[in-house]
Chain A
Amino acid sequence: MPREIYAYKCRKCGHTHYPYRMVCKDCGQNEHNEFEPVPLPKTGKLLTFTTLYSLPPDFEVPSLGLAIVALAGGITVTGQHRIDEPVIGMAVRGEVEIVRRDGYDEHYGMVFYKA
């Protein structure tokens, strides 16, 4: 089964959140576990980006591309990008990959490429 990053759809009003939250921001439903996990869409539009050179100590790369992407369907996410010449508004596609290694832990997240 491919790894996925999930958004959370309120079972009461249908509002989809990313990241997870305990209470729906839209309808305020206050029951435990009332969200349905929905895999994040994999296509979207580059909203903004940067290249980070002053990295947290556990990253063993000289620089890191970071981006905020508006995904198809209306969810916006933060992720890494591997795009040589990024431009605001360009179409991108996302993959779920290891984005950070922290001791023995591997963290999966969204990595964006040119569509």
Chain B
Amino acid sequence: MRDVYVIGIGITSFTRLEYPLSEIAAYPAMMAMKDAGTRAIDHLYVANMGGGRINHQTGLASAVVDTLSLTPAGAETIENGPASGGSAVKTGYMAVASGLHDTVMVTGAERMREVNNLEATDFVATLTHPLAEHIYGVTLPSLAAMFTRLYMEKYGVTERHLAMVAVKNQNAALLNEFAHLQQKISIEGILDSPEAMTNNPYVAVARKVDRPLVKLAGVGQATDTHAVHEREDPTDLLAVRRAAAMAFERAGLVPADVDVAELHDAFTILEIVESEECGFFPKGEGHLALERGETALGGKLPINVSGGLKGRGHPVGATGVAQVYEIVHQLRGEAGERQVEGARVGFTCNFGGFGNNVVCLAFEREN
């Protein structure tokens, strides 16, 4: 397999964008092509989950490739729930690594404000098992709530720990001009704060090049049972552990090598649990590392310095691509006030369903 590098990135604000979904996907792609200094794109991958359901637009990639005037390049829409972004980047990686294409574009977009919060939550709830979960009224937040209760009982995680993650990430977002939430919060003030619902963007371009840049060094993906209750231990996020281990193995790296990570905190508990399952901290001790400040900017392993899903926003299908943007931005040393000093190795975890489809990616700066 050939080595694969990210040679251009672009991003736009995670806010209510009034232009069409295809343009939300296209605009950061234009920025990425400018960043890379090329328009020679062999293939386009567009990560999106809700186009058909909430924006009445299917075949999104065909619209995006045309508005970018990249035809006749091939184009595909990648839908893999909230892990669509990670899957799209992984698919782009496969295309370049295999030699099928030399340069590909991956972009992600979602236009969730087309519908109200209840409809958006209902749309995301279609990820759950139709007969064993969905008919009961189960939504992703309710699965997260049941998971969190069990995890707190088992490992001594408290509401205060969850608030610490939320405060850390939302306040980190203040240093990210593209983040959705731009409001300082405190632990005391947030114990019942609402989840954010956003539009969004993102993009990466990858190809084989001679100059040393940011290498997508390893990809990993794993699945678990569709219904959460069917897992032997419902607090065990097996797919995260397997996807992360696979990404590290393929990259020839270990968790201790990582300088900066973007983890999928769709619910605050997930940042703590993923920091354990990815191998950064022992099981049941993620909240202790959080307490010690190890996961904050300036700590041993800063997590979600972009603001994470909590602060930057979580436009479901686009999130995994946005995570890659942040890591590349960091490894290039271009992140300004939120730069992790000397970051050389970065890691992303993109969590689909409630842990039933997970994509992890490991990145390394070469020079």
Out of A20, A56, A66, A80, name the residue touching B122 (CB < 8 Å). Answer: A56
Interface contact B228-A68, CB-CB below 8 Å: yes
Interchain CA distance A57-B121 in the complex, whole Å: 10
Chain B at the A interface: SS class: helix
Which of B118, B135, B230 contacts A107 (CB under 8 A)?
B135
Considering the chains assembled together, what is the distance between the CA atoms of A76 and B125 in angstroms?
Answer: 20
Collect the chain B residues with CB atoms within 8 Å of residue A78's CB: 132-133, 136, 138, 227-229
Contact B136 A79 (CB under 8 A): yes
A50 touching B149 by the CB < 8 A rule?
Answer: yes
Contacts of A107 in B (CB 8 A): 135
A56 touches B118 (CB 8 A): yes
Complex CA gap A66/B227 in Å reads 14
| Residues of B contacting A64 in the complex (Cβ-Cβ under 8 angstroms) | 137
Interface size on B, residues (CB 8 A): 28
Residues of chain B with a CB closer than 8 A to A88's CB: 149-150, 153
* Chain B residue at minimum C-beta to C-beta distance from A61: B137
Picked from A18, A56, A80, the residue with its CB within 8 Å of the CB of B121 is: A56
Task: Give B132-165 interface residues, CB cut-off 8 Å to A.
Answer: 132-133, 135-139, 141-142, 145-147, 149-150, 153
Q: Smallest CB-CB separation from A49: which chain B residue? A: B146
The residue from A17, A48, A54, A109 contacting B234, defined by CB atoms under 8 A apart: A48
Expressed in whole angstroms, the minimum distance between the Cβ of A11 and any Cβ of chain B is 20
- A13: CB under 8 A from chain B? no
A96 within 8 A of B: no
Nearest-CB residue, chain A, relative to B125: A56
* Smallest beta-carbon distance B108→chain A, Å: 25
Contact B146 A50 (CB under 8 A): yes
Cα–Cα, bound, A17→B227 (Å): 11
8 Å CB contact of B229 from A54, A55, A57, A68: A68
Interface residues of A in 65-115 (CB under 8 A from B): 66-68, 76-80, 88, 99-100, 107, 109
Quick check: is B35 within 8 A (CB to CB) of the other chain?
Answer: no
State the CA gap A92–B64 with chains docked (Å): 53
A99 in complex: contacting residue of B121, B137, B139, B142, CB < 8 Å:
B137
Partner of A47, one of B125, B135, B150: B150
Contacts of A109 in B (CB 8 A): 135-136
Q: Which residues of B contact A80 (CB under 8 A)?
A: 136-137
B129 within 8 A of A: yes
A interface residues, tally (CB under 8 Å): 28
Partner of A59, one of B137, B150, B230, B234: B137
The reply on B119 being an interface residue by CB < 8 A is: yes
B150 adjacent to A48 (CB under 8 Å): yes
Nearest CB in chain A to that of B232: its residue: A76
* Chain B residues with CB under 8 A of A39: none
A37 located at the interface, meaning its Cβ lies under 8 Å from any Cβ of chain B in the complex = no
Interface status of A52 (Cβ within 8 A of chain B): yes
In the bound complex, how far is the Cα of B138 from the Cα of A19, in angstroms?
A: 15
B117 CB-CB contact with A under 8 Å: yes
Residues of A contacting B227 with CB < 8 Å?
A: 19, 78
Contacts A57-B118, A88-B153, A100-B137; is A68 near B132 (CB within 8 Å)?
Answer: no
How far is A52 from B117 in the complex, measured between Cα atoms in Å?
A: 14
CB-CB under 8 A from A99, the residues of chain B are: 135-137
Whole-angstrom distance between the alpha carbons of A77 and B135 in the complex?
13
Partner of B132, one of A57, A66, A67, A77: A77
Output the least CB separation between A70 and chain B (Å). Answer: 9
Q: Is the CB of B135 within 8 A of A100?
A: yes
> Does chain A have a CB within 8 A of B100?
no
Measured between beta carbons, the chain A residues less than 8 angstroms from B138 are 66, 78
19 contacts between A and B (CB under 8 A): A17-B230, A20-B131, A47-B234, A48-B150, A48-B234, A50-B146, A52-B137, A55-B118, A56-B122, A56-B137, A57-B119, A64-B137, A76-B229, A76-B230, A78-B133, A78-B229, A88-B153, A99-B136, A100-B136
Which residues of B are in contact with A by a Cβ distance under 8 Å? 117-119, 121-122, 125, 129, 131-133, 135-139, 141-142, 145-147, 149-150, 153, 227-230, 234
